[in-house]
Structure 1
Amino acid sequence: MKSYAAGPTDSPIIEETIGENFERIVWANPDAEAVVDVAGDRRWSYRELNAEVDLIARALMSLGVAQGERIGIWAPNCPEWTIVQYAAAKIGAILVNINPAYRTHELAYVLNQSGVRTMISATEFKTSDYVRMVEEVRADTPDLEEVLFLGTDDWTRLRDRAGAVTEDHLRARMASLSNTDPINIQYTSGTTGFPKGATLSHRNILNNGFFVTEQINLGPDDRLCIPVPFYHCFGMVLGNLGCTAHGTTMVIPAPGFDPGLTLAAIEQERCTGVYGVPTMFIAMLGHPDFANRDLSSLRTGIMAGSTCPVEVMKRCVNEMNMTEVAIAYGMTETSPASCQTLIDDDLEQRTATVGRALPHVEIKVVDPETGETVERGQTGEFCTRGYSLMLGYWNDEEKTREAIDADGWMHTGDLAVMREDGYCNIVGRIKDMVIRGGENVYPREVEEFLYTHPDIEDAQVIGVPDEKYGEEVCAWIRMKPGRAPLDADAIREFAADKLAHYKIPRYVQVVDEFPMTITGKVRKVDMRMESVRLLGLDTR
């Protein structure tokens, strides 16, 4: 039997824009709680949230934001992020998600590549001074005209502008939109060069959010704790859109993930579901407050980002009451999820696999060399197609053609095995991507940055095993003649304000040469094995 499967089609695809779908749910559940901001002690009903979304939508129109124009958002999780997400969707503006961990090097690139004219930004988060960084890149981002900082008078002034645009003008704008229009750009790095902007439509992300949460039986009586970041599909699609498509309450426990605050929010708000990557669940299970928290309201959630250890899944089921927790697998380019386990799947299916094809999604496993579909049980490249497939990479047709073949299949670069029952197991990666704590780190991007150091001749980046994060970043560097060797501390200092923290190498090996193939290609497999030996990681 060939490694091909198609998800069920009994529930139809939603053919609405995000704004239309949101308003339909609002009219059905006007007084239900929509958003709870635990940290700020603020709450909105669906009626109140829709009114605020409309206010910001009209305010953005008064700034001259046109349909198809890009709006950047650079902030940690907060209600304003969600409000801007739906306001942009209602006016047909393309929301550009900017990773809160970005530094100036990355910020300037995404602003220029997407052509952002208006950006809404936090003032600070953790160690990031966004105001300072915005000022640093202003000279290098000529398209950027307007930056509005949350938590300042900027937001109040924006709200005050709404009166310049009538409700009728907003209705007319909404009526002109199509659900196949681009509505979101999310940057996902490639194995070569800079990040690529996966461009997603209303149809892409609305349906993915709906079908993934449909699989865990989300409904108007549920309250979902969302500690995963909104800038990523996990937060804004599977979290926000999944909730609003079902009239569910979105609970924001904190601006960034904090295990103690997440546990407190679940107890306080009687959450029925919680999302996270495995490291988040490990942190919650290991928190000193864990045993004292009442988590009896939980029943479900989604774990994604990397493989879930069996013992962690057992504890989520037995100690967090998440008997209906699901595993999901996907990538930004597919809105994101392609596969998911069912809530009644056994422990083996929820730990040894990433589930089976989601509704209206096709999947197959092919020989990476020939493109032929392999037999079930054989390893090959995971491919998928369907409504969830991105429109393409923003302004990059070449990279789009490399990723999506002529028959509409997305080639993920992940190595997978499809079992006889149609469930899939991800066994490795064709590309050299490093997954650190659920964050994708693409070696070429870090290498390109390391090349900017005046003392570095050449750099190669790989992933090495790590107990806490799954993988850590390791850089092999060759020094320019006569230059003193650099250590990990020196590299960290050089990268501190320019690269996101999770991309900065933890380990640095200074070498005279790299292992090479006969044809002159660097052998990263050999580098990885040697790094494990030199660092003593194989004994952990």
Structure 2
Amino acid sequence: MAYASRFPDVEIPDAAVPSYVLARSAELGDAPALVDGLSGETITHGQLVAHVDRFAAALHARGLGKGDVVAVFSPNTIWFPVVFHGIAAAGCVMSPINSLYTPDEIAFQLKDAGAKTLITVSPFLDRARPAMEAAGVTDLVVLDGAEGADSLRDLLTSQAPSVQPDIDPATDLVTLPYSSGTTGLPKGVMLTHRNLVANVAQTRPLIDLHDGDERIIAVLPFFHIYGLTVLMNQGLQWGGTVITLPRFDLEQFLRAIQDHKVTRAFVAPPILLALAKHPLVEQFDLSSLRSVTSGAAPLDESLAFAAQDRLRTLAGTGDDGVTVAQGYGMTELSPVSHTTPDHGLEPAGVGATPKGTVGYAIPNTECRLIDPATGEDAAEGDRGELWVRGPQVMAGYLNNQKATDETLDAEGWLHTGDVAVVDDAGRYTVVDRVKELIKYKGYQVAPAELEAVLIGHPQIADAAVIGVKDAESGEELPKAFLVRAPGAEITEDEVKAYMAEKVAPHKKIRLVEFIDAVPKSAAGKILRKELRSR
């Protein structure tokens, strides 16, 4: 059976992303929209609108037009939203690249996405330039300037006429992030203007918005759909202030919350672990925080309580203090399908949302729970694979109909690969995974991708990778089971060093075990369950 959201449907504006997200910015004028959490450099809402107009015009003057893909390889800065909305306002499609990627990984995405331009920063040029050469991309913009490339200043001072492309929000793509989906190698997730507009509109009824007084800390990367939609676009659409940090450093994170009076933090579980246990937390005033919401990976109930209780105790606010909660989503869902409402906004007759759950299906969202063994709807109260249908569901995977058909069925149901249970109040808890993906520090790590790299080593005959939970950190660590080639004597340390050169840090192999043979089915599929049972 299909479970409807416990919240009434909301109207989804028929608008392009920039016009919807920045609708209030012109009237907010000098109010800060974006603040660099380290330097204090600020872009006001009025400046943001003007910068987006100039950036879009400059891209159009470069020959870029509707549907062209522009890749962005950058850490979080106050200029990232200018770049994203400028690309979108030009009718182009922004493909964000993980800032930890190696040249080979960047080149793969550039080629697969068909990118015509790469926008980056000078510290990333040592990886960007070889990737561009390998992918055959020649147009480069370096935001902070570099020899032989235009800069952000060059684009923002363009005298080109403003552009108004004809955008159909329902069908035209706005962003092309890469995800491993439920399994396999990274794939381009086609998200339309309507997908992103819908997701911001859908989550609004679950937020107790303090109009004009919301300050969101943006430490999760904007290249990740969680950062792009939930931190950046949602915060700006509220008319709030987004405080950016280029990476997670605990002291900088805590200082930014204190100095900028941050009201909301959207984080991943490793940050909650630090808030719950690290002694540095006691040195900062975090009393401005009203809400901390965790996503990107499961949040343990005990950790949620530990972080919430400590923050309340330090602030001296008692039961009326900050709330620590959890949401759920995936890139293919733009990304939110479930979240925990702010206190007082729960469905009528329902109390506070229990820790450990991901909350309710957001408005305009339907869910099913499917028994993986039978393919039928799970009995009420039983576990099942979570299927989701709603306006936030992706259009499909770029140039990969097979993967699209495996994930998105003919009736519009997205098969998440996660196993969940729902209680009689409509609150969902994610309890397991059908899919093979490893989640490490909120990042997706595809075993198949790591196995392909490992097998490329001449001393490795076969490989299988699984995630192994670390009891101390709670993280899922990539573990490789390896078969040495005949006569080879490769060691665990040599394997780790080899992988560290080939993949981004979050994909590194953390554990190695040498075995005689990788267990496989008659069809050649790796039997990961056998490896997990070792």
TM-score with structure 2 setting the length:
0.92
Matched, 1:281 2:275: no
Cα distance in 2, alignment partners of residues 496 and 521 from structure 1:
26
Matched, 1:179 2:172: no
Query: How big is the shift at 1:313?
Result: 1.9
**Preserved contact between residue 191 and residue 444 of structure 1 (Cα < 8 Å):** no
* SS of equivalent to 1:39: coil
When residues 430 and 348 of structure 1 are mapped into structure 2, their CA distance, relative to the original with a 3 A threshold, is: farther
Cα distance in 1, alignment partners of residues 525 and 251 from structure 2:
46
- Answer with 507-516 or 5-14: which moved more: 5-14
Cα distance in 1, alignment partners of residues 524 and 232 from structure 2:
47
**Preserved contact between residue 69 and residue 114 of structure 2 (Cα < 8 Å):** yes
When residues 441 and 161 of structure 1 are mapped into structure 2, their CA distance, relative to the original with a 3 A threshold, is: closer
Matches within 5 A, 1:237-256: 237-252=229-244, 254-256=245-247
Matched, 1:209 2:200: yes
Q: Which residue of 1 aligns with 2:431?
A: 427
Query: How big is the shift at 1:379?
Result: 1.2
Q: Which residue of 2 aligns with 1:147?
A: 140
**Preserved contact between residue 387 and residue 413 of structure 2 (Cα < 8 Å):** yes
Q: Spell out, residue by residue over 1:434-467, the C-alpha distance to the aligned partner (whole angstroms, 9 max, x if none).
A: 1112111111111111111111111000011113
Matches within 5 A, 1:199-238: 199-218=190-209, 219-238=211-230
Cα distance in 2, alignment partners of residues 358 and 157 from structure 1:
40
Query: How big is the shift at 1:135?
Result: 2.9
Query: How big is the shift at 1:222?
Result: 0.8
Query: What letter corresponds to residue 154 of structure 2 in structure 1?
Result: D
Q: Spell out, residue by residue over 1:177-230, the C-alpha distance to the aligned partner (whole angstroms, 9 max, x if none).
A: 121210001111156542111111111112213433542223321111111111
Query: What letter corresponds to residue 180 of structure 2 in structure 1?
Result: S
**Preserved contact between residue 54 and residue 158 of structure 2 (Cα < 8 Å):** no
Unaligned runs of 5+ in 2: 313-320
Query: What letter corresponds to residue 15 of structure 2 in structure 1?
Result: E
Query: How big is the shift at 1:521?
Result: 4.1
- Give the % identical residues: 31
Query: How big is the shift at 1:280?
Result: 0.9
Query: What letter corresponds to residue 292 of structure 1 in structure 2?
Result: Q
Query: How big is the shift at 1:22?
Result: 3.3
**Preserved contact between residue 354 and residue 423 of structure 1 (Cα < 8 Å):** yes
* SS of equivalent to 1:497: helix
**Preserved contact between residue 61 and residue 165 of structure 1 (Cα < 8 Å):** no
Cα distance in 2, alignment partners of residues 191 and 354 from structure 1:
19
Matched, 1:260 2:254: no
Cα distance in 2, alignment partners of residues 484 and 81 from structure 1:
47
Cα distance in 1, alignment partners of residues 444 and 352 from structure 2:
26
* SS of equivalent to 1:77: coil
Query: What letter corresponds to residue 227 of structure 1 in structure 2?
Result: V
When residues 197 and 410 of structure 1 are mapped into structure 2, their CA distance, relative to the original with a 3 A threshold, is: same
Aligned equivalent of 2:501, options 497, 502, 515: 497
Cα distance in 1, alignment partners of residues 251 and 444 from structure 2:
25
Matched, 1:368 2:372: yes
Cα distance in 2, alignment partners of residues 485 and 163 from structure 1:
56
Root mean square deviation of aligned Cα: 2.2
- Answer with 304-313 or 418-427: which moved more: 304-313
Q: Which residue of 2 aligns with 1:269?
A: 260
Query: How big is the shift at 1:69?
Result: 0.4
Q: Spell out, residue by residue over 1:204-258, the C-alpha distance to the aligned partner (whole angstroms, 9 max, x if none).
A: 1122134335422233211111111111111110011101221111111x20111
Q: Spell out, residue by residue over 1:24-72, the C-alpha distance to the aligned partner (whole angstroms, 9 max, x if none).
A: 2113322221001122320111001111222222121121111110010
Query: What letter corresponds to residue 134 of structure 2 in structure 1?
Result: D
**How many residues are treated as equivalent by the alignment?**
517
* SS of equivalent to 1:496: helix
* SS of equivalent to 1:100: coil
Cα distance in 2, alignment partners of residues 101 and 186 from structure 1:
15
- Answer with 63-72 or 150-159: which moved more: 150-159
Matches within 5 A, 1:123-142: 123-124=122-123, 130-142=124-136
Query: How big is the shift at 1:3?
Result: 6.1
